[in-house]
Amino acid sequence: MHKHNTTLGWDIGGAHLKAALVDADGTALQVIQVPCALWRGLDQLEKAIDVVSAKLDHMPDQHAVTMTGELADVFTDRNAGVAHISAVMIEHFAKENGREVRFYAGPSGLVSAREVSLYAAEIASANWLASATYMAMQVNQGLLVDIGSTTADFILLGDGKPQIRGYSDAERMQFEELVYSGVVRTPLMALADRVPFAGEWHTLAAEHFATTADVYRLTGDLNEAEDMAETADGTGKTPEESARRLARMIGRDLHDAPISAWIGLAYAFKQIQLNTLKNAAMRNFSRHLVDYRAPIIVAGAGDFLVRDMARQLKRKYLEASHMISAHNDETRSWAGVCLPAYAVAYLAAKNAT
């Protein structure tokens, strides 16, 4: 096989589509993220692909795909999701443009379009392993923590490879290598049963009134460019609208307290989420596979939470983006946010000989 000049890595999620274009040396040339409400149907993926394609500076020589979108409830099960998503990608690129499309199957590496059905279980939700495999090439030991809009990945790196206990989502959730807690889409009712407010503990409504994006808009942590999901009530994203949704979580209205009180409540939710994430990190570190000085490696849209977690755990941290070769600083930063897309592109580029 000839050496490809450019590779486009795709990370197909249930809420976002991420793409990273790299050259033959693995240098990031362009990174793009767009909304993709896959649970509404495959047409959402097709539209998102078109949006990404229109933004590309040029079409790549090959495509490498990883995914978590097979979990979307539009599919009957994971295998069906992998089959449908891969079929869209193959139809879009391999047939229309004659581009090679390969799919990341974890330990089995990149497989061809005709092998998808044979490796469906390995392809499903393997994007984290692409990130970990790439990062293990750069860092001998540490804990990679990639927090996105919906979930957080905790992957120990030691002796130049990922030191994982689980592979499937079920196994990873059991071992807290996958935690369903993100910085945009997570319903606040999933964080805790109660929160402190006005000197008392308040029970939370078991209702999808607000999400973590409301919290991080009020704390000022969330990058506006990464705030792509719809709000819980379908209204806007101003501080007042976010505060109104937070107030509903404890049975109150916005006018019941000054905005400073709702910002204080947002910080309480932030600390509650941090405590959950810290527990997962401590559990992973407690395996004693890495030195007590091993750093936490920061990635994802929730990088600010990873940094805060590292500080509270008295751990040094490294920015994943600093270990990525890129065309410019902005592209490098986005490659850290969209690490699986970059990682699968890098692995495919290096394998294309």
Task: Classify 289 as helix, strand or coil.
Answer: coil
**Answer CATH for 188-274 from 3.10.20.340, 3.30.420.190, 3.30.530.20, 3.40.50.300:** 3.30.420.190
DSSP string, 340-352: HHHHHHHHHHHH-
Dist. CA 294–CA 287, nearest whole Å: 13
| Whole-number CA gyration radius for the chain | 20
- Residue range(s) in the chain whose domain bears CATH number 3.30.420.190: 188-274
Task: Classify 3 as helix, strand or coil.
Answer: coil
Q: pLDDT in tens for each of the 353 residues of the chain?
A: 345 699 999 999 999 999 999 999 999 999 999 999 999 999 999 999 999 999 999 889 999 999 999 999 999 999 999 999 999 999 998 765 668 999 999 999 999 999 999 999 999 999 999 999 999 999 999 999 999 999 999 999 999 999 999 999 999 999 999 999 999 999 999 999 999 999 999 999 999 999 999 999 999 999 999 999 999 999 999 999 999 999 999 999 999 999 999 999 999 999 999 999 999 999 999 999 999 999 999 999 999 999 999 999 999 999 999 999 998 999 999 999 999 999 999 999 998 54
* Amino acid 351: pLDDT: 85
Point out which residues pair with 28 in neighbouring strands. 22, 326
Q: How many CA atoms lie within 13 A of 124 on its CB side?
A: 22
- pLDDT tens for residues 12-67? 999 999 999 999 999 999 999 999 999 999 999 999 999 999 999 988 999 999 99
* Amino acid 1: pLDDT: 37
Calculate the alpha carbon distances from 353 to 1, 24, 131, 137, 329 in Å.
Answer: 6, 10, 21, 19, 28
* Amino acid 99: pLDDT: 80
- Residue range(s) in the chain whose domain bears CATH number 3.30.420.40: 6-129+323-351
**Answer CATH for 6-129+323-351 from 3.30.420.40, 3.40.50.920, 1.10.3720.10, 3.40.50.450:** 3.30.420.40
* Amino acid 352: pLDDT: 57
